[in-house]
Structure 1
Amino acid sequence: MSARFYADLALVTGSSVGLPEHAARHVQVLRLQPGDSITLFNGQGDGQAGSEGEFEATIERMGRSDVQVLVGAYTATRREAPRAVHLAMGMPANERMDWLVEKATELGAASIQPLMSERSVLRIKGDRADKKLAHWRGIAIAASEQCGRNRVPLIHEVTSLSDWLKSCAAQTPPAQAGTRLLLSLQDGTQALTQALAGNNTFTFLSGPEGGLGPAEEAAAMAAGFRPVTLGPRVLRAETAPLACLSLISLLSPT
């Protein structure tokens, strides 16, 4: 299997294109040479609505910092999860957010919304938030290249939980918004497995270290989120969203 690279370009069989900086740098690191074959994907397939796949490509020229390739045949390849899962979570501290983005990408998350909440340890804004966002998007690209996904999950800009919930509450949820679920430790919450029937699109909201506060959970429920539980054990902030993704993957039709 040839090395895979994400290229945010319009790819057309028979065209010659220069690879984006990150892909060109990776080709250089791997010491590939003119004539070597690689695989490209752009998240858009062959440009047809709903298409998903990848292109063969051949390296034509290696410059000091640029790489030119000839785009070859397109292969339609479906590797996305049958159910779209959007994660919204209080950001865990240190490198745990990096790990979460990587593993959520591998497990098929459609998008990730980093949130700052009452108990968040990690609080970022301005230039630091922009740098973190670029870093996380790079992690998602690398994870997609490695695991075989042909679409890169969207990593949204960091925002506060209160602002995000206001935008959710203001929406008249369209059909594609799907089911809104809140991971909660409250007594009497519904088991996650019972909440999955009847829809193929989900938004999961989970808290940071220490979870969401009572007022935050109340605000989430007012915005249309239904509390669910993963069971009696308390999972870490970076573990709970991944457990949701894994469970949905196991219970989804193949």
Structure 2
Amino acid sequence: MRRFFYAATDVNKDGECDFAALSTFAMGTTLTLTESITHHWCRVLRANSGDQGVLFDGFGGEYLVELATISKKQATATVLAHDADDHTAPIISKIALVMSRGERMDYAIQKATELGVTAVQLLTSHHGEVTLKPAQVDKKLAHWQQIAIAACEQCGLNRPPLILAPIAISQWLQNPDTELNAEINDSIELNDDSNNKAMSTDKAVSVSVIVAKLSQDSYYQILGHKADIRLMLSVPSADQPRAPATLSSVLTSVLTQPLPYIELLIGPEGGLSPAECQQAEQVNFLPWQIGNRVLRTETAPVVALATLHALSHY
């Protein structure tokens, strides 16, 4: 059965339009579908009145609906039933990921979503190959958020991960526990350590407008708190161990908690610089190399999350 994200704020060719949360509709009532759902379900997939599908808005659970009316401008659906299961992972996880190019970044976000990541903090770094211009931030943020939403529609996750606007790794590591803020800021500085340039954007937001309202939900507020453990996926130098000797016992202790919160720091293809690694360790990131091979930046989130989920079930 087809699944669709019912965005609280739908973005279409006419601008932005706000919609009520699905929880405000009683069973048996009829709601107007967003333009995005109407286009995909009714025009692209050629659905007909009477066809059934599933809607979720990220605020909890999913709703079985039946198409009621379809016109050139809009479509409506009747709410039939509610399933409270969010299909979330047994851990809260945030990946701080240095941006990579093209399909590699799309892949990393898509697969991390399928593995239940809660948020992805985009980073720039000394060896990073992607630095966004101010005018690109909103567009790329919306693109990557849509990648995550599409992955949710496919895999059954009902709470989309938040894709957080890019920030320089050095700036983020100064205070990685800052509260999640989806309100409009005066400016966001994106420092590029490779060429010592700084960019600022006026009226930039920390998340895409698609999930701005959703980001205020209580489910995501833990992202503003200190993580139970911080792990830095990196290739150590010759005189360093792949991981602290105590990491195994620390991980076991954390993963036996009811709902542990774990942060993962993943560098670019060229790896984090020595200064960045040192700064990360100063704010309690523990180095963690999984196996004796070097993972690509798009592969590392998949392997790390899968490993953590496997360990959490033992």
Q: Same fold (TM over 0.5)?
A: yes
Pick aligned residue for 2:88 from 65, 80, 89: 80
Q: Supply the distance in 2 between the matched residues of 1:30 and 1:219 (Cα, whole angstroms).
A: 50
The yes-or-no answer on 1:8 pairing with 2:7 is: yes
Pick aligned residue for 1:107 from 106, 112, 115: 115
Pick aligned residue for 1:57 from 39, 60, 65: 65
The yes-or-no answer on 1:136 pairing with 2:144 is: yes
The yes-or-no answer on 1:236 pairing with 2:296 is: yes
Give the corresponding residue for 2:219.
none
Give the corresponding residue for 1:49.
none
Q: Supply the distance in 1 between the matched residues of 2:4 and 2:177 (Cα, whole angstroms).
A: 38
Q: Supply the distance in 2 between the matched residues of 1:170 and 1:63 (Cα, whole angstroms).
A: 46
Aligned residues of 1:87 and 1:203 also touching (Cα < 8 A): yes
What are the equivalent positions in structure 2 for 1:91-130 lying under 5 Å apart? 91-130=99-138
Aligned residues of 1:87 and 1:205 also touching (Cα < 8 A): yes
- Please, which runs of 5 or more residues in structure 1 have no aligned partner? 46-52
Aligned amino acid, residue 227 of structure 2: A
Q: Supply the distance in 2 between the matched residues of 1:40 and 1:195 (Cα, whole angstroms).
A: 39
Aligned residues of 1:182 and 1:205 also touching (Cα < 8 A): yes
Q: Offset at 1:207?
A: 0.3
Q: Supply the distance in 2 between the matched residues of 1:114 and 1:65 (Cα, whole angstroms).
A: 36
**Identity across matched positions, percent:** 39
Q: Offset at 1:184?
A: 2.0
Q: CA distance change for structure 1 residues 134 and 175 in 2, over 3 Å: closer, same or farther?
A: closer
Pick aligned residue for 2:77 from 69, 78, 82: 69
Q: Supply the distance in 2 between the matched residues of 1:220 and 1:145 (Cα, whole angstroms).
A: 34
The yes-or-no answer on 1:24 pairing with 2:74 is: no
Q: CA distance change for structure 1 residues 70 and 176 in 2, over 3 Å: closer, same or farther?
A: farther
2:159 partner SS: coil
Pick aligned residue for 2:287 from 227, 232, 240: 227
Q: CA distance change for structure 1 residues 253 and 122 in 2, over 3 Å: closer, same or farther?
A: same
Aligned residues of 1:169 and 1:222 also touching (Cα < 8 A): no
Give the corresponding residue for 1:182.
232
Q: Supply the distance in 2 between the matched residues of 1:170 and 1:231 (Cα, whole angstroms).
A: 32
How many residue pairs were aligned?
245
Q: Offset at 1:74?
A: 0.6
Give the corresponding residue for 1:245.
305
Q: Offset at 1:135?
A: 0.3
Aligned residues of 1:169 and 1:223 also touching (Cα < 8 A): no
Q: Offset at 1:197?
A: 1.8
Give the corresponding residue for 1:89.
97
> What does the per-residue CA deviation read over 1:14-54, in whole Å, with 9 as the maximum and x for residues that have no partner?
33222222222211211111111111111112xxxxxxx21
Give the corresponding residue for 2:11.
none
Higher mean C-alpha displacement, 111-120 vs 54-63: 54-63
Aligned residues of 2:62 and 2:86 also touching (Cα < 8 A): no
Pick aligned residue for 1:196 from 206, 229, 251: 251
* TM-score for the superposition, normalised by structure 1: 0.89
Q: Supply the distance in 2 between the matched residues of 1:175 and 1:155 (Cα, whole angstroms).
A: 17
2:165 partner SS: coil
2:80 partner SS: strand
Aligned amino acid, residue 64 of structure 1: K
Aligned residues of 2:50 and 2:66 also touching (Cα < 8 A): yes
Q: CA distance change for structure 1 residues 150 and 226 in 2, over 3 Å: closer, same or farther?
A: same
Q: CA distance change for structure 1 residues 176 and 161 in 2, over 3 Å: closer, same or farther?
A: closer
Q: Offset at 1:176?
A: 5.6
Aligned residues of 1:169 and 1:224 also touching (Cα < 8 A): no
Q: Supply the distance in 1 between the matched residues of 2:177 and 2:152 (Cα, whole angstroms).
A: 32
> What does the per-residue CA deviation read over 1:70-95, in whole Å, with 9 as the maximum and x for residues that have no partner?
12211122411101121111112222
1:80 partner SS: coil
Q: CA distance change for structure 1 residues 60 and 247 in 2, over 3 Å: closer, same or farther?
A: same
Aligned residues of 1:83 and 1:201 also touching (Cα < 8 A): yes
> What does the per-residue CA deviation read over 1:201-220, in whole Å, with 9 as the maximum and x for residues that have no partner?
10000101111000000111
Give the corresponding residue for 1:218.
278
> What does the per-residue CA deviation read over 1:173-217, in whole Å, with 9 as the maximum and x for residues that have no partner?
986622111112222132765542222210000101111000000
Q: Supply the distance in 2 between the matched residues of 1:153 and 1:163 (Cα, whole angstroms).
A: 22
2:176 partner SS: helix
